[in-house]
Structure 1
Amino acid sequence: MKNYVFRIVVVVAIGLTLGCADRPDWYEEPDPESPEALAAEALNLAQEAMKAAGIDIEFNDLGDLAELSSILPTPEKLTSLNDQQVGHMQTATDEMYKILEVVGESGSVPGAPLNPAKDIQPILSDADLLLVNLHLSYLNVLEAVRSLSVTGEDIYKIEYSQDAGYAFKLTESGQAKLDQAKPGEFIRDLSEAQRQAIVDSLFILTGAKVEVSNLPGMVRTIKRMDWQNAIYHLDEMLSLAEKIAPDLGVAMIDFNDVIADALSKGVIDQVTEWGFKIENYDDVMNKIKNLVSDEAKKQISG
């Protein structure tokens, strides 16, 4: 990865300072109920929650995205989180989504402008939006990795390396059981908790909707909008990065490869062989394809 390219983000967005760019001298604090104030409050709560959970990212160290080990906690660290820390992690996710809710995905107040002739200054800059989407992708990935790591037992596990990031793999015991199972029937050898973790994690990572069956643990428990997943936020990050700096989008591809290809596609490729059926499989795989390597480079080059 190109560390110097990620440093561009730090230069153009040294912090997630909502609505702070180019303020005039006569600037006054917004009304407490205004979108600006609500977004700033949500940001503060999210930052505090991430710090309390021990998974916070230093905003002035975004260049460290080039060093995956500096921002991706190991599976062991995630499984060691206590219930209170897990609750803080969920709070951080909820508050980050609240930022997008109050300002709209474009960075402006939803429904604005009321007067089309009047220019409306976006509450969030492109750099701000990139950072919000970065954190939401990061938080969704951590939630999925933790869930899979906690439930894997002697069947599957999440491995981690500084070069490749996260990888979903069978244990030796799991591979032996898979070898003995009939094609597409390994899903029955999993526990209810394992099936549930896979169903929920697929949705958190990619928005994949697993077909419900009569097996326990096949009904998704995650209550989110379809777009609230790591892949969506990776795509948003890529689009915003291209707008911020010419080379930044290219550098983002390496990070996308780790999350979209190595982890998300890696899980899908295996569990579909085990008997999990994804209703929106083609749509999910196309989104992943457009995010990684050659396809993403074509998109960036125009």
Structure 2
Amino acid sequence: MKTKFMLLIALILLMGCASREREEGVAPGSTSKADEAVAKAEAIMASAGIALSFDELGSVSDLNEMLPDPLEIAQLEKSVIEESVASLYEALDELGDVTVPASPAPALEVRPSKSDLAMLHLHLAYLYVLEAVRRLMLVRGDMYTISFPEEPVTETLEVYRFELSPEAEERFKRLEEDPTTTPYDYLKQFTIAQRQAILDALVLLTGVEIYIEANPALGIPAQRPQVDRSIFRRDALYHLEKALGYAVGIAPALEEAFQEFKRTVQENFSYKLLEDARRWGFIVEEETLPEELRRRG
């Protein structure tokens, strides 16, 4: 499975505008403005040490070898991810792939390549995940961590995972065993900053509408996400779905491998954190839940 995934990504990126050598003139299916925007994002990511290595993607045997360690992500300047995201959206806008809800698609003089569009959406999903991890790591304290398996023991892909510390896990276990426990008892275990990071991370990962209802008697203020939607227009799962759609058109035989990557980001990180947060007192507008979670009830 891992080999198939790496071959798929290598195929997408080696065919795409980010991996080909930039010669004089504009690449077929692109524009000078789109090429410049992608080049700017690449340069920012490379300078921060978070660029995906296109030359190595076809040969690495482990996804973890190309994803940054959470401790390294926590050291990133806020502007690195924001400016990279803004540049990639500039490229998508130029190529007519609308990511702003209710915005009309511009008239185009070129037909964008599916490989370029798949690459752009894949990178945006990657950056959204990094931003979610960055916000969570900055305020983690001794309450939780973002695990990053260095040597997975299974054949399935592994990425980041939100995990309570052993001490917090024990406190939560006692709360679960107490019949008088309310969701606010869980919320009280987190600091205001930690609750904010969880709200923001879930918006970045899944796009749900989520908030915390105030309980003045317990000293819990109302909180809502603080994600700048003028920068982060969508969410990681949206961009993974878009990348998957374009990638299947390029290499249908490798759909299974791409689905596996999407599944691990979706199930092991995004959905697990979302379901835990709902159990801990974070309120999610039901109509914004991913369809799969609505079916689960």
Deviations 1:227-279 (A, max 9, x none): 61100011111111211112221111221122111000110121111100111
Aligned ranges 1:1-302 → 2 under 5 Å: 1-4=1-4, 6-11=6-11, 13-14=13-14, 16-17=16-17, 36-63=31-58, 67-79=62-74, 81-83=75-77, 86-105=78-97, 110-112=105-107, 120-122=109-111, 124-162=112-150, 163=152, 164-181=158-175, 182-185=181-184, 186-214=186-214, 215-216=220-221, 218-224=223-229, 228-279=234-285, 281=286, 283-286=288-291
Distance 2:113 2:14 in 1: 12
Counterparts of 2:61 and 2:247 in 1: how far apart (Å)? 14
Q: Which amino acid aligns with 1:235?
A: E
Q: Structure 2: how far apart are the matches of 1:2 and 1:39?
A: 31
Looking at structure 1, the residues matched to 60 and 204 of structure 2 have their Cα atoms a distance apart, in angstroms, of 21
State the Cα distance separating 1:213 from its structure 2 match.
2.4
Contact 2:211/2:222 (8 A) holds in 1 = no
Aligned to 1:299: none
Aligned counterparts of 2:250 and 2:37: Cα–Cα separation in 1: 24
Structure 1 Cα separation of the partners of residues 83 and 159 of structure 2: 25
CA distance in 2, matches of 1:289, 1:202: 16
* Distance of 1:82 and 1:49 partners within structure 2: 11
Using the TM superposition, give the Cα deviation of residue 9 of structure 1 relative to its aligned residue in structure 2, in angstroms. Answer: 4.8
Deviation at 1:111, TM superposition (A): 2.9
1:68/1:207 Cα in 2 relative to 1: closer, same or farther (>3 Å)? same
Q: Which runs of 4+ in 1 moved over 6 A?
A: none
3-state SS of 1:247 partner: helix
User: 3-state DSSP class of the match of 2:138?
Assistant: helix
C-alpha deviations, 1:89-137, integer Å up to 9, x for none? 2211111122112222179x93326xxxxxx531x31001110011000
Name the CA distance, whole Å, in 1 between partners of 2:246 and 2:2: 18
Code of the aligned partner of 1:89: I
CA distance in 1, matches of 2:222, 2:91: 32
Q: Is the Cα–Cα contact under 8 Å of residues 6 and 248 in structure 1 kept in the other structure?
A: no
Cα deviation per residue 1:36-80 (whole Å; 9 max; x = unaligned)? 22211211110011011110012333436862112221212212x
User: What CA distance in whole angstroms lies between the structure 1 residues aligned with 2:52 and 2:86?
Assistant: 17
Unmatched tracts of structure 2, length 5 or more = 153-157, 176-180, 215-219
Structure-2 change in CA distance of 1:190 and 1:12 (3 Å): closer
Shift in CA distance, 189/46, structure 1 to aligned 2, threshold 3 Å: same
Please name the residue that 2:217 is paired with. none
Q: 1:242 to 1:65 in 2, by over 3 A?
A: farther
Q: Structure 1: which amino acid aligns with 2:165?
A: T
Structure 1: runs of 5 or more not aligned: 114-119, 291-302
Counterpart Cα distance in 1 of 2:222 and 2:45: 29
RMSD between superposed Cα atoms in Å: 3.1
Q: What SS is found at the alignment partner of 2:183?
A: coil
Instruction: Identify the residue that residue 155 of structure 2 maps to in structure 1.
Output: none
Of residues 184-193 and 156-165 in structure 1, the stretch that sits farther from structure 2 once superposed is 156-165
Seq. identity, %: 27
Asked if structure 1 preserves the Cα contact closer than 8 Å seen for 2:70 and 2:134, the reply is yes
Q: Which amino acid aligns with 1:264?
A: S
Query: Closer, same or farther in 2 for the Cα pair 1:249/1:103, shift >3 Å?
Result: same
Decide which moves more: 152-161 or 131-140: 152-161
TM-score by structure 2 length?
0.79
Counterpart in the other structure of 1:297: none
Residues 210/92 of structure 1: CA separation in 2 closer, same or farther (3 Å cut): same
